[in-house]
Structures are given as C-alpha cells and as structure tokens.
Structure 1
Amino acid sequence: MAYAAVFGMYAAFLLIGVYAARKVKDGTLADLLVAGRAMPLWMATLTMTATWVDGGYLLGTVEGTYKSSVTLGVQGGLCFGLSLLCGGMFFARRMRAHAFTTLIDPFEARVGKRWAAVLFLPALLGELFWSAELLVALGATLGVMLQMKLVTAILLSAVVITLYTMLGGMWSVAYTDVFQL
C-alpha cells in the first residue's frame, strides 16, 4: 500500500509537470525561473510557504521542540513568517520593477559584477546545503515508509524533482507545491 501511495504521488508530480509545461510560453529564462512573471499572488504565496516549511524544517522543529521546548517551534515559524512579510513589503515591488531574477541581481546592480560574484558564493553554498537537507529529509521519510535505503530514496526523489522541474520550470514547482499543500 505504501508503495502505491508513494509512486502514485510521484506520478502525480510528473503529470503536474507535463501540465505545467503548457504554461511555459516562450521557453525563456524568465518563463522557467520566475514563471514568466505571471504567477498569481495566491499561488506565489503557497509556493513560498511550501519552500520555507519543508521536510527538514518540520522534522527539525518537531525534534527540537521535543528535546528542548515549544519556543523553538514558535521561534522558527515566527521568524520565517516575518521574513516573508518583510520581503514582500519591502523588496518584492522593487525587484519586480527592475526585472531582477535572483536575490543577487540587486547587489550586482549596486556594486557590480565582481562583488556580485563574491556574494554569489555564500548563496550558492546555502542553496546546495538547503537542497541536500530537503533531499535527505525526503529520502529519510521515504526510506522509513518503503523500507528503502537512504541513498536509493534520495536518488529516486531527485530524479522525479529534476524531471518535473525540467518540464515546466517554476510553473511545475508552484503547481506541485499547491498540490502538496
């Protein structure tokens, strides 16, 4: 039963990726990275929520709350929520007006390409570690459910995520986020 549920979910993700690929109009970088700047606010809100409240956060908060105190869980959720509100209120409009694609783009506009390249390194490391955390949390959960080796579960998940993202870019990510929430 667990195998059917997991593989059904992964099949749904791939179907969502195929559906989302029809939303990609020109196949430009903006289409793939920022959904052609045409994503509705409700969907953007849900995908940002899904991005911040991931498996690693949930599993880590539960463990930290169990071992420490309930304030750990409240602190994480409160801080994440405030950071999203501040980003939306103070940065989103300006970033959209300048057609920035990444969080490094405003720094590049302000301090130049050389310093943007330096600032890119910590951002890259953060994304790599965050992606690894996501895959390990997903792989650990899958491994327990299916009695599968961690490496196999991580690789299976990475292949599915890569495929649906390649199909529809940010639209695929947003639609799967909405589906999961």
Structure 2
Amino acid sequence: MSLNVPGLIVMAIFYLLILGTGIWASMRSKKVERKCTGSDGMEITLLAGRNINLLVGIFTLTATWVGGGFILGIAEAVYNPTLGLVWALMPVPYVLTFFLGGFFFAKPMRENKYVTMMDPFQIKYGNVLSSLLIFPALIADVLWVARTLVSLGNQLIQCFIVALE
C-alpha cells in the first residue's frame, strides 16, 4: 500500500475550499445580523433571515439530502446483484416528497414563522408530546451523522491508499 499524493492534494484543496466557504459565510452572516434589527439572531442563523432565494434553497436542500451515505448507498445497492437497479429509483420518491412538502408545508410554516417542523406539534399538542416526538428525529440525525462519517472515512481510504499488487 502506498499514499496517493495527487489524491491527498485534491482532498486538501477540497476541504480548504469548504473551510473557506464556511468562514466567508460566517463573516457575511454576522454583517447581515448587525444590519437586521427586527429579526431574532437565532432566526438569522438558522433560517438565513428567511431570505433564501429559490436557487440557493434548491442547492442547500440537495446538499443536505445528497450526502456521502446516500451516494455510496445507492451505488452499492445498484452494484449488488441481489438488490439490482430497483434501488436506482430511490431518488424519485425523495424528490416527490420534497415537492409535496414545498407545496403543502412551506407557505404555512413561513406565514406562522415556525423555525422547525416540531413547532406546529408543540403549539397544538404541548411540550410533553413534542418531547416524545423529537426522539425519532434525534436518533435519525445521530445515525445520519454516523453514516456521513463512515462515507467520509471510505472516501479518504479510497483516495489516499492504493493497493500495490
């Protein structure tokens, strides 16, 4: 096994670009937060002051949805002869649910100034049921982060280490 130097250089540049983008966005967000007097600081941080245009919203949603686990999972399922090409159709229901969610939930949530999907449940059913409903979302988020870290490790292994035979 040897180190793949071009892969290492490309990965370093890629992650430095991500770091630079994050620093730039943080500085820009702080400037916007200073200008906005009526909005809550948390709303500006979490929801970009509710001022995201359609193109940025699509890219943000796609970047959140199409992570390393999704890409590697689809590729592995399609490659596996027992699963086959049926799993290649998996993105279709995801896209449909995004459109349905956008058509039915986006407008009422913006009008009522909700921050999370749990806010309507908390208002209607109270804190106790909302606390119970947050556990599946919390478990899903923890598993999503674990899946993303596994895919990152797989990416680093494939990029840096080349088997010599």
Q: TM class, shorter-chain normalised?
A: 0.7 to 0.9
Report the Cα offset of residue 43 of structure 1: 0.6
What CA distance in whole angstroms lies between the structure 2 residues aligned with 1:51 and 1:84? 12
What CA distance in whole angstroms lies between the structure 2 residues aligned with 1:3 and 1:14? 16
Q: Which residue does the alignment assign to 2:16? A: 11
Matched, 1:70 2:85: yes
What CA distance in whole angstroms lies between the structure 2 residues aligned with 1:15 and 1:53? 21
Q: Which residue does the alignment assign to 1:143? A: 157
Larger helix fraction of residues = 1
Q: Which residue does the alignment assign to 1:112? A: 126
TM-score (norm 1): 0.76
Q: Which residue does the alignment assign to 1:26? A: 33
Report the Cα offset of residue 144 of structure 1: 1.9
- The code of the aligned residue for 1:97 comes to E
- The code of the aligned residue for 1:39 comes to I
Q: Which residue does the alignment assign to 2:37? A: none
Q: Which runs of 5+ in 2 are unaligned?
A: 1-5, 35-40
Report the Cα offset of residue 26 of structure 1: 2.3
Q: Which residue does the alignment assign to 1:44? A: 57
Identity across matched positions, percent: 31
Report the Cα offset of residue 83 of structure 1: 0.8
RMSD over aligned Cα, in angstroms?
Answer: 1.6
**Rg (Cα) greater in structure:** 2
What CA distance in whole angstroms lies between the structure 1 residues aligned with 2:53 and 2:153? 31
What CA distance in whole angstroms lies between the structure 2 residues aligned with 1:132 and 1:29? 26
Question: What SS is found at the alignment partner of 2:105?
Answer: helix
User: Where has structure 1 moved over 4 Å in runs of 4 or more?
Assistant: none
